[in-house]
Structure 1
Amino acid sequence: MKTMQLEANASAIVKEQRLFFNSGKTKDVTFRKASLKRLYQEIIARETEICEAVKRDFNKSEFEALLSETQFTLAELKHTINHIKKWSRRKSVLPSLANFPSSDAIYKEPYGSVLVIAPWNYPFNLAMAPLIGAVAAGNTACIKPSELTPNTSAIIREIVTAVFEPGHVQVAEGGVEVAQDLLAQRWDYIFFTGSVQVGKIVYKAAAEHLTPVTLELGGKNPCIIDATANIQLTARRLVWGKFLNGGQTCIAPDYLLVERSVKDDLVKAIREEVTKAYGEDPQRSPDYPRIVNKKQFDRLNAMLDGESLLMGGVTNRDDRYIAPTLLDEPDLDSEVMKDEIFGPILPVLTWDKEKEIHHIISRYEKPLAFYVFSRKTRKAKRIMSQYNFGGGCINDTIIHIANKRLPFGGVGNSGIGAYHGKKSFDIFTHHKPVVNRGTWMDVPIRYAPYSKKTNLAKHIRKLF
C-alpha cells in the first residue's frame, strides 16, 4: 500500500509539472526572472534559519554555512538574474552557402520537466544551484533533497513552497523509496549529485526513457606536492580544503603525493595549521563539523584499522566525531586507498621520481579534482595537462568552483556534464537550430535527375 502511494505521488508530481509547463508560463523570460528574484529575497530573509538547519544536521559552523551554502547560492542567483535575458535570446549564426539564401539561428528551448536529486554534504547549495539553472532555462523542476539532512530538507521545502507556484517547482522529501519512484517516472532531464554507485543507478533509470542526464559524482582526488612548494602555505590551504565540511566534499584532496625530501616538514606544518584552525582539541572547536550519520562514521572509522598515524585518529561514535587525521604510507590495496574517502582522513604517500606519481594515479578512475603545489609553474602546468580530471588548481584546493565563468563537472567515472554560471543555463536548454530559407531563388543542383551533376557534386563540400 505504501509503495503504491509513493508511486502515485511521484506520478502526480510529474503530471502536475507537465500541466504547468504546457501552460506556457515558463517560456516567458520575465516570469522566470521574477521567480528567481523571489527565490533570492526568500534566501536572504531566511539565511540565518538555513545556517541553523545545516548546523543541526551535522554541526557545520555559521561561517562555513554562509560561505559554502547560502552566499554561494546567492552569488549564482544574482549572476543568473543579471544575465538571463541575454542567455535566453535567439542567436543568429552565419548561414551555409549550401542553403543560400537563408538566415540561420539557434533557439533556446527548455527541456520540460526536470528532476534534481541533491546530496547531503552541501544540502542547500547542491539543491539550489541546479534548480537555478533549470528555472532560468524555462523548465519546471522537482527537487529530491537528501533524507540524511532532514532539517535542511525541511527548509528547502518551505522556501520552494513560499516562492514558486504549485507545479512550477516542487519538493519530494523521503528516502530511497521516494528516489526510486521518482526515477521510475519519465522526466525530460535528470540532474544528480552524489556517489558513483548511485549515479550508475540513476543513469540506468534515465536510459529507460532516453532521458538526458548530468551526473556530478566524485573520485580519488590526488594532490601532488614537490620540494619547491611553499610548505607552510601549502599546509594551510590543504587543511582548509581537506577538513572543510568535515572532509565531506567531493572535490577535497583525497590523498597526498609528497616529494620525500619535504614530507616531514609538510606533516609538521599541517599539524600546526590544524591547531591554528581548530585548537588543541578539534572536538571542542565550534568550527569543526561532524560526520553526517553513524553509518558514514562506521565506514570511515573502519579505514583507520591497522593504519600508521601521523596525526589525529581520535574518534567518538556518539558524537560522530573523527579528528583531522593523517595516515602514513598506507598500502595501495588497503581499504582507505580503494575508493573515495569522503571524510577527514588524509593518506600521505611519498615519491622520489615523477614516474612513481603516475604509477599511483593511474590505478584509479579519472578524478573529479586534481591539485599540484609547486613553485615550478611550467612543471605544474605540464602535470595538469598530463592527466584527465574534472577540474583543479595549482597551489590551492577547491577554489576553482568559485569562478562562475569556469565550468564545474567531472569526466568519465567522476561525472557527465558541467554547470555553474551560464553553463547551468545551457545544460537545461535545448539549443534548437532553425534555418529560414528564402524563396526568391532556388539553386537546382540538389534536385534529380543527377546524371549530369556527378563531377559538380565532387566539389560540393566547398559550400558547407
Structure 2
Amino acid sequence: MQKYCKDLYDRCYGKHMSRTLVPISFRISLLKLLLSSLESHKEDICDALHADLHKSTGEALLTEYLPCREDLRDAISNLKEWVKPRSLKTPIFLKPKCKAALSPEPIGPVFVISPWNYPFSLAFIPVIGAIASGNPVVLKASTQTENTTKILREVFRAIDVPVVEGDSKYATELLKYRWAHIFYTGGPRVARTIYSEAAKHLTPVSLELGGKSPCIVSNKADINKIAKRIVFGKFSNAGQTCVAPDYIVVVASVAKELVTKIQEVLKQFYSAEPSKLDSGFGHVVSKRRYDHLCQLIATSKREHDEDSVTYTGSVACDPAIKFIAPHIVFPCAPDSCLLKEEIFGPILPVVCVDSFEAAIDFVCRDMKASYEAKPLAVYLFTNDPKEMTKAKVIPGGSFVVNECNVQAGMSSIPFGGIGESGIGGYHGKWSFDTFSHLRPTVVRYGRIELDKGVRYPPYNAKKIKMLEKTM
C-alpha cells in the first residue's frame, strides 16, 4: 500500500513539474474528453447508483449526472474567460504606465476525497475544477459505494485521473504527502483529522461538511406549493443529503395542514408503499447507518406519544434491504434526541411554535446549544418580504427562500458551508478559483513618474504633504 501511494503521488507531482503552466487548449481538450466519457457512461452511472443506494433513474439523473454535465459544460464554455488576468486599480504614484492584475495559475497536485451519499457528483465536480485550473489530481472514492466507484474509474480513465478504491488506510497514507490542495466532502470528525494532517505541510483545504439545516415555515407560506419542495429536499436519497432540511419549525396555526400535505405528497412521490423495490425510494447505505437510524426512531418513540411518530406505508424498516420508511415526528418535543445531532436519514422532526419570531428564536437557541455550529443551509418558507429580512439573522452556509436543495446544483454560485459546516466553496468558476493561485502581477512601463520623487527619501515636510494627497 505504501509503495502504491508513493508511486501515485510521485506520478501526480511529476505531471505538475513537467507542465507547470498547462496550455488552455490542452485543458479544454481534457474537459471535452471527460464530457464524452461521462455521456457514454450515462446508463452505467444510473445502474451503479441504483445498485449502491437504490436511486431511481430519475433521481440519479437529476441529482448526480445532470449537475456533473452542467458543471463540465460550464467549464468548457467559459475557461478561456476564467483564465484571463483580472485588472486591478493602481495607486496614483505608479501612473501613468503601470498595470496590476490577478493572474490565475495552477497550484499543483490536488487530492480529492469524496463521500458515499452522492458518490458520483461529489467526486466528479471537484475534479472538474482541478483539471480546468491546470492541476493533476488524485481521487479517493468511497468504499461504501463500490459500484459507483468502479464507474468513476472507467469515466476518468479517459483523461488518466487515478481513482483510489482502497479503504481509509489509503487516504491516511496519501494525506502524509505535500499536496497543493486537499478537498474533502464528509463529516466533521474525519474533517478534523484531515485538517490536522494538512497543517503539517501548511496545505490549504476545502471542507464540505453538513449540519442541522433548519427549515422555518411561516403561517404566510403557501402550504400546497411548499410541501412538494420540502419532501423532495428532505427525502431524496432517503434523507442522506448534506443540504437536506434536518428539521422543521412551523407556526402552530398551519402545522397540522403542513404535516397532512407532506404525508399526501410522500404517497404521491413514492406510492403508498415506499418499501417496494420499484417505488423509487432510496435505501440506507450501510448496516451501521441503518442500525443508528433505527435507534434514533426507537428513542424518539420513547420520548413522544405513540401517535406522534408516523411513517409512510405498512413497513417501517426492513434490514434485509436496509430500508427505512419516511418517518415524521409531529409534534416533536423541543428536547428530543432528533434535535441534538444531524439525522442524515428519512426522519423529519416537526416542531410547533406560536409565532414566526418564536421560530427564529428557537433555531438560534438550538444553534447556541450546539456550540453555535452553523448549518450548511437555512431554509425559509414565507411570502412576506419582511419575514425574509428578519430570518437573515440566522447564520449558515446559504440562505434559501421557498425552495430546498437547489443551491447545491447551481454552477453559477459557490456551494459551501461556514465553520462547522465547512470551509471554502466550489462549483463552476468558484471551483476554478479554489484550485488556482490568483497571482498578483504588477508591470510598469516608461520613464515618467507623476509623483515627482515624493516616495523616495529624504522625507521633508513638503514631500509628506504631497504623499498624503497621492495615497
Shorter-chain TM-score range: over 0.9
Q: Which moved more, 1:288-297 or 1:302-311?
A: 302-311
Per-residue Cα deviation, 1:409-432 (whole angstroms, up to 9, x for no partner): 111111111111111111111110
Cα offset for 1:304? 0.8
Separation of aligned partners in 1, 2:134 and 2:159: 13
Shift of 1:94: 3.0
The farther-off stretch of 32-41 and 98-107 is 98-107
SS of residue paired to 2:343: coil
The residue type paired with residue 149 of structure 1 is T
CA-based RMSD: 1.7
Q: Please list the CA deviations of residues 195-242 of structure 1 after superposition, one character each: whole Å capped at 9, or x if unmatched.
A: 111111111111111111111110101001111211122211111111
Displacement of 1:147 in angstroms is 0.9
Matched, 1:237 2:229: yes
What TM-score comes out, normalization by structure 1 length?
0.93
Residues 46, 301 of structure 1: CA spacing in aligned structure 2 closer, same or farther, 3 A cutoff?
same
Identity of aligned residues (%): 36
Offset at 1:463? 3.2
Q: Distance in 2 between matches of 1:152 and 1:457?
A: 67
Matched, 1:348 2:350: yes
TM superposition shift of 1:447: 2.9
Aligned to 2:72: 77
Find out whether 1:159 has 2:151 as its counterpart.
no
Question: What are the Cα deviations for residues 107-140 of structure 1, in whole angstroms up to 9, with x where unaligned?
Answer: 1101100011111111000001011011001111
1:103 and 2:99 are equivalent in the alignment: yes
Q: Which residue of 1 aligns with 2:13?
A: 18
Residue 394 of structure 2: aligned partner: 387
Shift of 1:334: 3.4
Corresponding residue for 1:289? 282
Deviates more, 1:397-406 or 1:125-134: 397-406
Relative to 1, partners in 2 of residues 1:7 and 1:59: Cα closer, same or farther, differing over 3 Å? same
- 8 Å Cα contact 2:380/2:401 also seen in 1: yes
Give TM-score scaled by structure 2 length: 0.92
Pair 1:93 & 2:88 matched: yes
Q: What is the match of residue 3 of structure 1? A: none
DSSP-derived class of the 2:119 partner? coil
C-alpha separation in 1, matches of 2:6 and 2:273: 50
- Alpha-carbon shift at residue 14 of structure 1 (Å): 1.5
SS at match of 1:108: strand
SS where residue 444 of structure 1 aligns?
coil
Q: Does 1:371 align with 2:373?
A: no
The one-letter code of the counterpart of 1:114 is V
1:12, distance to aligned residue in structure 2 (A): 1.7
User: 2:180, 2:242 → 1: CA distance?
Assistant: 26
Q: For each residue in 1:231-283, what CA deviation from the matched residue of structure 2 results, as whole angstroms up to 9, or x when unmatched? A: 12221111111111110110100000011111111111111111111111110
CA distance in 2, matches of 1:234, 1:207: 44
Deviates more, 1:129-138 or 1:234-243: 234-243
CA distance in 1, matches of 2:389, 2:125: 30
3-state secondary structure, aligned to 1:305:
helix
Structure 2 partner of 1:444: 453
Provide structure 2 residue ranges, at least 5 long, that are not aligned to the other structure: 368-372
In the alignment, the residues of structure 1 paired with residue 118 and residue 468 of structure 2 have an alpha-carbon distance, to the nearest angstrom, of: 51
Partner of 1:121: 117
Give, as a single letter, the amino acid of the residue that structure 1 aligns with 2:257: D
Once the two structures are TM-superposed, the CA of residue 96 in structure 1 deviates from its matched residue by 1.8
Which of 177, 195, 201 aligns to 1:185? It is 177
CA contact (8 A) 2:252 2:353 kept: yes
Give yes or no for contact 1:26–1:139 (8 Å, CA) kept in 2: no
SS of match in other structure, 1:252: coil
Aligned twin of 2:430: 423
Count residues with an aligned counterpart. 452
| Alpha-carbon separation, structure 2, partners of 1:398 and 1:389 | 14
> CA 1:392/1:330 → structure 2, altered by over 3 Å: closer, same or farther?
same
- Contact 1:271–1:311 under 8 Å retained in 2: no
SS at match of 2:102: strand
CA shift at 1:25, angstroms?
6.8
| Corresponding residue of 2:310 | 311
Q: Give the distance between the partners of 1:98 and 1:298, measured in 2 at CA.
A: 68
Matched-pair contact (CA < 8 Å) for 2:250–2:353: yes
Distance 2:228 2:40 in 1: 34
SS at match of 2:142: coil
Mapped pair 1:338 → 2:340: yes
Q: Is the 8 A contact 1:26 1:140 kept in 2?
A: no
